[in-house]
Structure 1
Amino acid sequence: MIVVMRPDATQAQVDHVTNLVREMGLKDHPIVGTDLTVVAVIGDERKVDGDVLERAPGVNKVMRVLAPYKMAARTDHTETTRVTIGEGDGCVFGGTQVPVIAGPCSVEGEQEILAAAEAVKAAGAHALRGGAFKPRTNPYAFQGHGEDGLKMLAAARDATGLPIVTEVLTPSDVELVSKYADCLQIGTRNSQNFKLLEACGKQSKPVLMKRGMSMTLDEYLQAAEYILAAGNGNVILCERGIRTFEDHTRNTLSLSVVPELHERTHLPIVIDPSHGTGKAHLVPAMSKAAMACGCDGLAIEMHIDPEHALTDGAQSITPAVLSDLMEDLARVAVAVDRTCVPG
């Protein structure tokens, strides 16, 4: 951390800053220049409230050298961490393969989720998604089947061999969901539910964590740090679009976060083009673009009958579109030295 003093700062003000630094258990190293003085702060700056120093008399600004997230940072990680969902090695995020998670927004019924799983398997995708618990803006909308939905997902897994990814909404549900799921999903509305993050960090199943719709990348990685710090290193980041002034899509899908996050963190990065656009006809193009810019996986909503879907039908592609998309993704993957082989 660097504390930059004002050009007119007095020696007493510099001494006050150095005393504050020492009170925080860190070392100070004042550097006197021609025009101004800076105080280098030596030690673990992540435990320091920089606002305290910035409010001190004579201080112009405080600049952090280290990221506020220690475990999620790329530092000392030359390669992306590999996270495996399910048994075996057929669905690994962070390696050469780019797995595709596909399925309906919500688990609507036993036959429906089984048909969806069979379509996902036939298309060559690698994992099945589907919500048993659904957070809805409208309190009267379909909220999911709860544990019965989890049992339906487990039955679909047994029938197809596809690992399942499903959302958990509250800390009290973590144990139940982890009993059935191969990967726990944290949705955008819960991305700063710190008690839920900690609870997911205390269990061993991988966690797919979506970015909050109004989160900066630093805030996002600090939230992921809660899971890592609680003991679970199997975290997959998921960009699902942010809320902006633009209205031609449901959200604004920021694909530039993929190379940026690869610079900042060792965690694998998945793109959700379904929530990212909200429109099914945009999903194939954005999926291929995500593959081209270096994503480590895709999470795509696919429904066997989107027109009659209980949730998010407008952004759900059909099994036929998914099948064609998987072939296209395989070609794009080769161009960027990746693979997207069938699951």
Structure 2
Amino acid sequence: MARLTAAGRHTAESTSHHPAGAAAHTIGPAAPRPRILGVGTAVPDNSYTQEELLEEFRITDPKIRSVFLNSAIERRYLTLPPEGPEGVRRPETQGQLLAKHRAQGLDMGGRALSECLKDAGAEPAAIRYLVCVSSTGFLTPGFSALLIRELGIDPDCARLDVVGMGCNAGLNGLTAVAGWAAAHPGELAVLLCTEACSAAYVFDGTMRTSVVNSLFGDGAAALAVRAGEGPDGTGAGLPELLDFSSHLIPDAIDAMRFDWDDDAGRFSFFLDREVPYVIGAHAEEAVGRLLNKNGIARSRIAHWIVHSGGKKVIDSVRVNLGLTAHDVRHTNEVLRDFGNLSSGSFLFSYQRLRNEGVVRPGDHAVFMTMGPGSTIETALVRC
């Protein structure tokens, strides 16, 4: 997964506009392979340890404190509600939470997208397809339209908003990006996951909401993709997106869900305690399907980028797939340093792997995300 250090500018004037088409899961062998050009991430300014958050919200229940302190999370970046007259964080209305979703989603998303383009050696005007993923609020028009206006992206840019799919949705969005890029060789497509998870918090003192409040953090991540060579001939030697695969677990469709809480007057996220074990039990089947249809033996996978869903989720996936602690080191590090960043978590891990400098040309990698449905999404990458 070599890092692209320079690439020619691909201006809007040098391309024609194409509509966003549906993306197939498998990239046809005759089509040029979509390649990863660059990656960027962003978080809010303020971060908190788990201990600091317990004090901020004056949580004394020993069971809830145990959930926070045994999460394998050291610090998270969050946008907390303002303090009231007595120094206590004030509850936020659903309207205030939606305003936070928009403001933080645009701020983090814009910064992550800019960093990604800088890494890819491209300008905003080069983007011909923009996919924005988020599950922490609802906007119409969505982040794609707002960012096109804010960043000066060509208004003829094709776009797609993936809303409400949850933590797995980054790979759902990347499937669309890769399919569009393969159908439009030489043109730049970008995935952006922007998740202000603190805009989906409910503080009611229950164990249900406390599990969510102990886990998620705010963050955004972007990935630039292009199939074939760029206008300056660059492209060879960059990571290739070979294939994608989805696995839905119908029996666990309600295990992760966003419900309206009448008492709180806002939406509330629910995580069933059995989620880690359900995901782990189906991980082998999901990964096996991806590798078998591509004729790739498990032993050939050199790198694993797994969603930082939580300590129990990571451990369950690791055990069921026979992975080592080293295989999921970046997954665990991202959980430790940021918490669960929802759809963009796997891109934070990918960025760390790439910057580590251990990847060799020709290595194979598996990306894996999990979320509501319950769903396991996978992607096969050749570095």
TM over 0.5: no
**Larger % of strand: which?**
2
- The structure number with the bigger radius of gyration is 1
Identify the structure with bigger relative contact order (alpha carbons < 8 Å, sequence gap 6+): 2
- TM-score, normalised to structure 1's length? 0.29
- TM-score, normalised to structure 2's length? 0.27
